[in-house]
Amino acid sequence: MFDAQSASQFVSLFRSTAPYINLFRGKTFVIAFGGKAISGPFARTLAYDANLLAALGVRLVLAHGARPQIEEELREKGLESRVHAGYRITDAATLDCVIDAVGSVYLEIEALLSQGLPDTPMANSRIRVVGGNFITAKPVGVIDGVDMQYAGTVRKIDADGVRAQLGLGNIVILSCTGQSPTGEIFNLAMEEVAEATAIAINADKLIFLSDSPGVTDSGGRLLDELTADAAERLMREADWLSPDIRRYLPCAVRASRSGVGRVHLIGFNEDGTLLLELFSRDGVGTIITRESLEILRDARPDDISGLVALIQPLEESGALVRRSRELLEREISRFSVVEHDAMIVGCAALYPYGNEQAELACMAVHPHYRRWGYGEQLLKRIETRARAAGVRRLFVLTTLTAHWFRERGFVEKTLADLPEEKRLVYNLQRRSKIFAKTL
């Protein structure tokens, strides 16, 4: 039974998932994981969570690998494991091991998703899982003079076939093998299957479960968001990335550039990462975002004219407080801007108050570029700058945009909640509403 406190925690937690449930229903996710995730301690709970997503109406494709299981088969048969240029050299004997290992991992996943014991999260589950000949493969060929034999790459995905199964409410399982029109079987890289499938079926999300919690910087800190360009630079420089991340990141970047809505890299070595990533505001892994014509960056002195052109009409309409050109020049380092095709189309500034508080001010997006997500990107940028400066509470004063901030986690406050220094200059005639967010 719940005591009063845990009952109220449960209720508010459950309610907080509603926006995500609404957002995800009917969306298509491809979830990709290697054989290690299936032999690890969280395979069972991963199946619970995949089943939960499917029950919530997410159209789910699971792409699995089987590297450790193939290695095990090879060891048992006394065969050598040979890899070249990132692909397994797959002769006929190795292919037999691949078929055995992949077949057994597939059956294991099918079994995990078919549980229904009364005291588990899968009680009453009625979701069907299907596999099939959805992947046409072609041989990798000869690389550096090495004949890769039955090592293959994806030639085509039967997107209509996969979509038809998803439309029936089935979970589609894709293995790391494919067939060629000549009737041969090829050993594929799971991450390439996942990438090609996510692109072919126009998935809303591609999620890689990896051996590390996400992409980290050289200091081991998790990067919660990376553009495709930044991820590519990192791949060239970073020798600290885990083996899975090394393999998955190039596929994540290509998928992102080919139109897959969001690509996530999260860990499989902890329980519930899939739910935490999907149902919490900040997530627990790394998201790769596509870059476009816009550049989000800190402002420079030569941006002043562009900034004035952007904010002057908003000052005149009363949406923003007036700032002189001189003030902008002095405070330019506090601004972040969005540049679109060499024009400043968005800006926001961060003003610290003491050590732990800061104001988000002068946030504006050019009317022609509204609803492109620039406002949201600027807010994230300012939050990142604030966090890096040790700020714990970000506040904003607004007359016209209260709801925009409320929808992004800000909570209405009173004058008494402002830092004293700000309270003293609060414009009583303007009667701005005060909002704050804990970072």
Ligand X SMILES: CC(C)(COP(=O)(O)OP(=O)(O)OC[C@H]1O[C@@H](n2cnc3c(N)ncnc32)[C@H](O)[C@@H]1OP(=O)(O)O)[C@@H](O)C(=O)NCCC(=O)NCCS
Using CB under 6 A, list all residues that contact ligand X. 314, 319-320, 361, 363-365, 370-376, 396, 398, 400-401, 403-404
Tokens of 374: 């620039």
| 119 CB-near residues (< 8 Å, 6+ apart) | none
Tokens of 408: 């992004």
Q: Least separation, in Å, of the C-beta of 378 and ligand X?
A: 7
CB 293 within 8 A of CB 285: no
* Closer by beta carbon to ligand X, 320 or else 344: 320
Q: What share of the chain is helix, strand, coil (3-state, %, to 5)?
A: 40, 25, 35
CA distance 78 to 300: 63
CA distance 225 to 270: 20
* Closer by beta carbon to ligand X, 75 or else 403: 403
* Closer by beta carbon to ligand X, 157 or else 338: 338
* Closer by beta carbon to ligand X, 66 or else 314: 314
| Strand arrangement of the beta sheet that strand 177-179 belongs to | 152-157, 135-139, 177-179, 185-187
* Closer by beta carbon to ligand X, 156 or else 408: 408
How far from 367 is each of 337, 346, 364, 432, CA to CA, in Å? 15, 10, 9, 21
Q: Least separation, in Å, of the C-beta of 278 and ligand X?
A: 20
CB 229 within 8 A of CB 170: no
* Closer by beta carbon to ligand X, 201 or else 362: 362
Q: Least separation, in Å, of the C-beta of 364 and ligand X?
A: 4
Q: Least separation, in Å, of the C-beta of 165 and ligand X?
A: 31
Q: Least separation, in Å, of the C-beta of 36 and ligand X?
A: 38
Q: Least separation, in Å, of the C-beta of 223 and ligand X?
A: 22
CA distance 365 to 340: 11
Q: What angle do helix axes 228-237 and 243-257 make, rounded to 10 degrees? A: 150
- Count CA within 13 A, CB hemisphere, residue 334: 17
Return the residue nearest ligand X (CB atom): 375
Q: Least separation, in Å, of the C-beta of 407 and ligand X?
A: 6
* Closer by beta carbon to ligand X, 130 or else 319: 319
* Closer by beta carbon to ligand X, 253 or else 338: 338
Q: Least separation, in Å, of the C-beta of 369 and ligand X?
A: 7
Q: Least separation, in Å, of the C-beta of 203 and ligand X?
A: 22
Residue 40 DSSP label: S
* Closer by beta carbon to ligand X, 217 or else 376: 376
| 216 CB-near residues (< 8 Å, 6+ apart) | 222, 223, 240, 241
How far from 236 is each of 124, 239, 276, CA to CA, in Å? 48, 8, 30
